[in-house]
Amino acid sequence: MRNVIYVLSLLTCLALLVGGVSFKVLAAETKDLSKRLDELERKINRIDARDPESEGTVGTFLAEHISLGGFFEHAIVGNFSKDADYMLSAGSNILGINLGVKINDKFRFVSQELVVLTFPFTFEPDVTRRSFSNTPAIAALVAHAYGEYMPNEKFRLQMGLGWVPFGIMTANREFPLYLRRGGPQIASGGLTMPFAIWQGVHFLGTFDTNIGRVGYNLYSTTPTTDANMLGGGSRLWWSAPNDKIKIGTSAQILDWGTDTVFNVGADLDIKYKSFGVRTEYARSFTAGTDIWTAYVQPYFEFNDGKWVIHADADYANRPMQANDAATFLPFEKWELGGGVNYLPWHFLRARLLFLYHDYRGVSATTAGLTNDYYTVEYSTAIEF
């Protein structure tokens, strides 16, 4: 009897041991199976996402691929001056919608439409003081829209219109990427140079060399200064093998009434680890006037690029300029300051900017009142 009980106990222990091991093996297998099922589901989801017929996706009738995106940028701007009342406005809003269509590996269509609602900062008509206009400026424009034929890297052809490749800030005129809202005066200062949009055809390409990469741009345009005569421009740039240094020169030739405008520029973009600096110079030669501008913008990134601090020294000089269509008052101005960019996510850029607008020469005062003012502004750009 004792033996029977002993054998039964032994068998029970054995059964429990085997059962325990089996449960462990089963649990491991279940975990593995669950992991594989998860992977399978992810694959199916990816395949579904690529199927134009599947629910919830956008299908196109022509393209292999279509991409839709854009950005929204807004700002709260405060201006104060010794000889003017304090002004605060939240009236600067830009919505950009980008549409890219890849028709095949050699051809694509790209466009960007901008809708702008802003209260311009301007002179009041009857007094010399500046203020935000009570009449909002509302505009919708096609910033770029072109078909691009890309047989190879050395030669590409764009047909349509787009931002001119003149320098750094006008060539890369994408508002959410600017460290400073609107960019320096070459892009935002109302200098009437360089002419901002190419129209017609744009040839571009890059060549690899032993000492880096060389690129060129050649484009046509119809300037608003004289729509009867085709204008054009070019750019030549060199980039170091590690892309950390880029140097470029740009030129434009346009008609302006009875004059011919010749714009030239040079630019330098350096990035070394967390430190970078951008600088540009541009000059416009026309009969009787000589517009020029230059800026330098050093910046430093930290916390894995989530924070960027930058400084700005930006000069512009536009003497009296007149043609058949309009007269532009002269001004000479320094914009000095700096700011902080915060990018908690790569699609969101929040900026804080401080600028001193220092008018010089004939534009320093109007009717005995200084034109100098300070700007403190907060802006946010969201890309989607």
Partner 1 sequence: MKKIFYSVFLVLAFMVVPFPGRSQQIALIIVTNAQTSVSKISVKELADYYLKKKRSWPDGTPVRPIDWIEGQPARRFFLKNVLNKTESELAQYWMGQKLYTGDKPPMSLDSESTICSLVSTIKGSIGYFLASSESVKSCTGIKVIGEVY
* Residue 112 makes contact with partner 1 by CB under 8 A: yes
CA 312-316-318 angle, to 5 degrees, is 165
331-342 and 137-149 strand pairing: unpaired
Question: Binder to partner 1 among 167, 176, 183, 231 (CB under 8 A)?
Answer: 176
Stretch that binds partner 1, among 11-19, 252-260, 297-305, 352-360 (CB under 8 A): 297-305
| Of residues 71 and 132, the one with the C-beta less far from partner 1 | 71
CA distance readout (Å), 245 to 16, 169, 171, 285: 71, 16, 16, 28
* Residue 98 makes contact with partner 1 by CB under 8 A: yes
* Residue 150 makes contact with partner 1 by CB under 8 A: yes
Per-residue tokens: 127? 């007094």
Per-residue tokens: 345? 């996510």
At residue 210, φ and ψ (nearest 5 deg) are: -70, -20
For the CB of residue 364, give the shortest distance to partner 1 in the complex, in Å: 38
For the CB of residue 319, give the shortest distance to partner 1 in the complex, in Å: 34
| Of residues 24 and 42, the one with the C-beta less far from partner 1 | 42
Q: Which residues inside 120-149 make contact with partner 1, applying CB under 8 A?
A: 148
Q: Which of 262, 269, 264, 263 is nearest to 238 (CA)?
A: 269
For the CB of residue 242, give the shortest distance to partner 1 in the complex, in Å: 6
For the CB of residue 153, give the shortest distance to partner 1 in the complex, in Å: 6
At residue 185, φ and ψ (nearest 5 deg) are: -60, -25
Q: Are 166 and 173 in contact (CB under 8 A)?
A: no
* Residue 39 makes contact with partner 1 by CB under 8 A: yes
* Residue 241 makes contact with partner 1 by CB under 8 A: yes
At residue 192, φ and ψ (nearest 5 deg) are: 60, 20
**Cis omega before residue 194 (within 30°)?**
yes
Residues near partner 1, by CB under 8 A: 39, 42-43, 65, 67, 69, 71, 96, 98-102, 105, 108-110, 112, 148, 150, 152-153, 172, 174, 176-177, 206, 241-243, 301, 304-306, 343, 346-347, 383
